[in-house]
Amino acid sequence: MHIFGWGRFAALALALAGCGGGSALTPPPATGAAPTFQESQCVAAGWQRLVVPVAGLSRLVLWKAPAGGWARGAIIVMHGGGGTHTNFCAANVSLIEPQVRFTTMAVERGFAVFIADSSDQVTDVAGRLCGKIWDDEVRQRPSVDTAFIDALVMFAIPGVRPSASRPEIFLTGLSSGGYMAVRAATRLGGRIRAFAPVSSGDPYGWTRDCTPRSGDRVNVFGIAFDNETGRPISEPGACQSASESREMPWDEGMGPKPAWRAFHHVGDGIHDVSCVDKLRRRLAARGYPEVAPLRLEGGTRAAEWHYWLDDYSAPLLQFFAAQLR
């Protein structure tokens, strides 16, 4: 297991302080919790455990790479709400088997893969804990997660990259992880080569209310709303609006804007297709080059279409490979 101590982050802290929207870095203990059962499964399968101390938290990453150099660069992968990074390397239930097959395929095709774990410290505007999700929303308070992804991109990944490797970094994520991938990619600009959100939408245009509700999963609380319509993003047409005036300020980075491609199912019963369409409008308006989305159809509208599907994996990796310089 690798632990990056605070001393090596000193220069990075100064760089991140001027990035806007990120948490200030403070010296945390350079320790990580003992590996979970699922993490141990991943390590047994060849994944390496990395602890990255950022903003007072010890953040966890599991990574795996092809032997020798990374012929196609590196992919940062972010899990969905309620999940963990181990969802992409240990399939103990059939629902997440496609996620594990994706990372296996990525390594086989020459990508290094870094699967990042969200915290459970995200709060809504009223200060209520939201559970195990990514902190992608733009709020008055600093984000718990922007500094973490910044640290991965600018320090942790270069720190373990073999010399005979491609330098490109790609981002993808599922649901909440996809929202975070969009925010991180737009924030980091030219440091990201391309990004591919799965079953997700516009992080600058939604709000969570994390009041616990009957029926909530054990570790995710509340509901998410589109800023324009005020409707839950699970409702049909939730993100259809003639106005998008309630969009939060974008914290865009410098350099070329990365290419992107959306992956989703039109029958997604958790994240409505209108919210994917809204993301496409917002990114187009800001000049992000888009490859036409992979939009699956068929079956009745249901929650099952929200999750990572095997049909996404090969086209997503082909999209990333096509963006190599």
- pLDDT at residue number 7: 34
* pTM, to two decimals: 0.90
* CA–CA distance, 199 with 201 (Å, rounded to integer): 7
Using the Cα atoms of residue 164, residue 169, residue 175 and residue 176 in order, give the sign of their dihedral: positive
The answer, yes or no, to whether residue 303 has pLDDT greater than 70, is: yes
- pLDDT at residue number 32: 55
- Region 22-32: what's the mean pLDDT? 35
The answer, yes or no, to whether residue 316 has pLDDT greater than 50, is: yes
- pLDDT at residue number 24: 29
The answer, yes or no, to whether residue 169 has pLDDT greater than 90, is: yes
Q: Which of residues 15 and 298 earns the better pLDDT score? A: 298
Contacts of 308 (CB under 8 A, 6+ apart): 80, 96, 98, 99, 102, 174, 198, 199
Residue 2 pLDDT grade (very low, low, confident, very high; cuts 50, 70, 90):
very low
The answer, yes or no, to whether residue 57 has pLDDT greater than 70, is: yes
- pLDDT at residue number 217: 66
Domain ranges of the chain: 59-322
- Region 98-111: what's the mean pLDDT? 98
pLDDT in tens, 125-136: 999 999 999 999
Q: How many percent of the chain have pLDDT more than 70?
A: 89
The answer, yes or no, to whether residue 12 has pLDDT greater than 90, is: no
| Cα distances (angstroms) measured from residue 224 to each of 79, 114, 131, 248 | 17, 27, 13, 15
- Region 274-284: what's the mean pLDDT? 97
Contact between residue 301 and residue 172 where contact means Cβ atoms under 8 Å apart: no
The answer, yes or no, to whether residue 86 has pLDDT greater than 90, is: yes
Domain 59-322 homologous superfamily, CATH: Alpha/Beta hydrolase fold, catalytic domain (3.40.50.1820)
* CA–CA distance, 27 with 166 (Å, rounded to integer): 31
- Region 64-71: what's the mean pLDDT? 95
- pLDDT at residue number 212: 87
Tell me the two tokens of residue 71: 């012929």
The answer, yes or no, to whether residue 34 has pLDDT greater than 90, is: no
Residue 77 pLDDT grade (very low, low, confident, very high; cuts 50, 70, 90):
very high
Contact between residue 315 and residue 67 where contact means Cβ atoms under 8 Å apart: no
- pLDDT at residue number 193: 98
The overall average pLDDT reported for the chain is 89
The answer, yes or no, to whether residue 243 has pLDDT greater than 90, is: no
